[in-house]
Structure 1
Amino acid sequence: MVTRPKELGCFLRRLRERTAPQGAPIGRRRRTPGLRREELATLCGISVTWYTWIEQGRAPQVSPDTLARLADVLAVTDAERRYLWEAAGLAPQRPAQKTPHVPAAITSVLEHIATPAYCLGRYWDALAWNREAESLFADWLGPQGQERNLLRFMFCVPAARDFVVDWPQRARRLVAEFSADAGNLAGEGQYEDMVADLGRQSAEFRAYWARREISFRDPAVKAFRHPTEGLVVYEQTTFVPLVERDFKLILLCARPGN
């Protein structure tokens, strides 16, 4: 089981290894890719021993000030910064795990939207969707769909590789987006089991997950090869309710001219 301190340390190591020493690119003469531990500690104004403990998952608690210094030196993105705070246990805690229940307001929204829309839960299980989404994602949300989890559909259902245009890039991006949500899920049994099972079933998921890339679900263009309609292109937008922070409402609006 991966604990939060270990997850934080592993992610920091990945960030450190991708960061070139200031004033010089990463060269072949350096045995360590990116910054060395002592270099990063010096730039952040903390002791090498303390940083080493953080990276090894041995630090019981990392202060917001220390984390902010690390984030600045490592030039993290907004998504990576949020993930660091969550992995360090500094973000607001999510409510205790409970049986997924889609708020009535979201159900009503789905019923009135005339474009593909669906709701994802804590572990990216599809909890609710409209008829348009079921028609578009027949192998995921249709009657024949067996994997209601978006990640499992993407990596474990062969039809997804033909259905999703530019599958390798989209799959890698999807893992980075899920990683941004998973910063404070470390230690939860369902989360750990799902990640482990996906790693066993898919070499691609295992490789993408090892990269520790973090990205928000920004508005993006999504293209699919529909079995009857051919190539369809949508603009995706994701909404997160203020109260139910574990839910995501995803809308796909057809691009003009498609």
Structure 2
Amino acid sequence: MIESEQRRQRLGAFLKAHRIRLVPQEVGLSATGRRRTPGLRREEVAQLAGISATWYVRIEQGREVAASAATLDRIARALRLAAAERAHLFTLADRHDPAAGTAGGGEDRLASLSASVKAMTAPAYILDRRWNMRGWNAQAKHLFGAWLARASPNLLRFVFLDGSARRFIVGWEDRARRLVAECRAELARQHDDPETLALIAELRSGSPDFAIWWDEQNVLDPEGGERRFLHPKDGPLAYEQVNFLPAAAPGFRVVLLLPRPV
């Protein structure tokens, strides 16, 4: 309870600090009338965000208000928050940013990240928060050829809904079971994201194994380690998986597979 109250107070202080930094003319508002304090008024932020002034005031005062991700998105835009500032806002509010790692957010950062991945000599690829493959290099394309040839490849759909994955991934059951636990950990960070919820529902419906393991309530953070595959052309392959969370591209994860002796 104390931690939640402290988080709300930090959130309110953060919003106030950025509100008073803005000049009315910067956001298309008239500066007429006497202003006793610098920056925007709370009512003006609410107007720009398209939300109730009373609601915004309660958030800034650190009151016990559950601001939705959509509301925070509108506030972030109203306050002209930069990417790092926006990410901090959602962290303080304990909400998942709907724009993080999606087509609508961070495409410039994704392009830069993709160029770095393509320059790597070992198989490497980029995952977003919903385990969609957002970029890969030639080595990864060779390794996962059939999967990456599909439109909008998704790691979870491949593992649980594609029968070829059981033959391709050595030790499929252990790896798949761990992925379910990682899913649950990630879902806790984006519990209000409808697309993620729809993906979980699809996997539960299409894979009895996923449904059973999901109900076990196990939670694990993503980690690296040995990965073995039975490639249709190259035969048995072994790698050491290393995960990176780029600070400049929140919402994305880079996975690098370093070749190891079989």
> TM class, shorter-chain normalised?
0.5 to 0.7
- For the residues of structure 2 that align with 1:220 and 1:189, how far apart are their CA atoms? 31
Query: What does residue range 92-131 of structure 1 map to in structure 2 within 5 Å?
Result: 92-97=94-99, 98-99=102-103, 101=107, 103-131=110-138
Q: What is the aligned partner in structure 2 of residue 22 from structure 1?
A: none
**What is the number of residues matched between the two proteins?**
170
Inter-CA distance 178–200: structure 2 relative to 1 (3 Å threshold): same
2:143 to 136, 144, 148: 136
Instruction: Judge conservation of contact 1:165–1:225 (CA < 8 Å) in 2.
Output: yes
Instruction: Judge conservation of contact 2:123–2:257 (CA < 8 Å) in 1.
Output: yes
- For the residues of structure 2 that align with 1:140 and 1:160, how far apart are their CA atoms? 9
SS at structure 1 position matched to 2:247:
coil
Query: What does residue range 190-201 of structure 1 map to in structure 2 within 5 Å?
Result: 190-201=195-206
Letter in 1 for 2:200: V
Query: What does residue range 157-236 of structure 1 map to in structure 2 within 5 Å?
Result: 157-236=162-241
Instruction: Judge conservation of contact 2:98–2:193 (CA < 8 Å) in 1.
Output: no
Give ranges in structure 2 of 5+ residues lacking alignment: 1-64, 67-90
Instruction: Judge conservation of contact 1:117–1:252 (CA < 8 Å) in 2.
Output: yes
Identical-pair percentage: 32
SS at structure 1 position matched to 2:238:
strand
Following TM superposition, by how much is the alpha carbon of 1:181 offset from its aligned partner in structure 2, in angstroms?
1.6
SS at structure 1 position matched to 2:147:
helix
- Alignment partner of 1:156 is 2:161: yes
Instruction: Judge conservation of contact 2:126–2:136 (CA < 8 Å) in 1.
Output: yes
CA deviations 1:130-182 (Å, max 9, x no partner) are 111111012211x2x35611000000111001000011111001111222222
Instruction: Judge conservation of contact 2:95–2:190 (CA < 8 Å) in 1.
Output: no
Inter-CA distance 176–91: structure 2 relative to 1 (3 Å threshold): farther
Q: What is the aligned partner in structure 2 of residue 251 from structure 1?
A: 256
TM-score normalised according to structure 2 size: 0.60
Q: CA RMSD in A?
A: 2.2
Letter in 2 for 1:225: L
- For the residues of structure 2 that align with 1:122 and 1:165, how far apart are their CA atoms? 25
Larger Rg: 2
TM-score normalised according to structure 1 size: 0.61
Query: Structure 1 residue runs of 4+, over 6 Å off?
Result: none
- For the residues of structure 1 that align with 2:248 and 2:116, how far apart are their CA atoms? 16
- For the residues of structure 2 that align with 1:245 and 1:131, how far apart are their CA atoms? 24
Instruction: Judge conservation of contact 1:118–1:251 (CA < 8 Å) in 2.
Output: yes
Following TM superposition, by how much is the alpha carbon of 1:95 offset from its aligned partner in structure 2, in angstroms?
2.5
- For the residues of structure 1 that align with 2:163 and 2:98, how far apart are their CA atoms? 34
